[in-house]
Amino acid sequence: MKAALMGIFVLILMLAVMDTAQANTITGRVVGIADGDTLTVLDSSNTQTKVRLAHIDAPENAQAFGSRSKEALSTLCFGKPASVDVVDRDKYGRTVGVVRCAGQQANRKMVELGLAWAYGRNPKKPSQFTSVESEARRARAGLWVDASPVPPWQFRRARK
């Protein structure tokens, strides 16, 4: 009897973990691109989710390289199947996640192209894309062609 109850408990626990994992992944088609680090995914139940790409920060639309960054994300993802591994929610209520479009990880690709900064809020724990950004800087890719590009967080602060 004890073994049967333990087995049922383990089964319920496994189902709960599987359900949580499924709830943390969104799949669908990309139907909108707001800028170089924000897109909208339409899932199979016709629910739209605005997603901020985790671990990166792209130039604002009104900023140098803002349009190129938005175009690059559009080329990577617009109209394509996508999956989003949800990491968090930001202060604006957007889902924050790691996005794969047609087999490519968009977050990393945007930094590789030099059209986004590797972004981590904690200076003691750098972004997982810090080395990717360093390589883009060395190659003078994208916005790194500029001798001293303005990070988007400084651009936003200056506009307040």
What residues are labeled active site? 52, 60, 94
Strands 95-101 and 48-53: parallel
- CA 11 – CA 126 distance, rounded (Å): 38
Q: Which helix (H) or strand (E) holds 49?
A: strand 48-53
- Residues 6+ away with beta carbon under 8 Å from 106: 39, 53, 73, 76, 77, 99, 100
- Residue 71 identity: E
- Give me the sign of the Cα torsion angle 57, 60, 65, 70: positive
Burial 81-101 (b: 16+ CB within 10 A, else e): ebebebbeeeeeebbbbbbbb
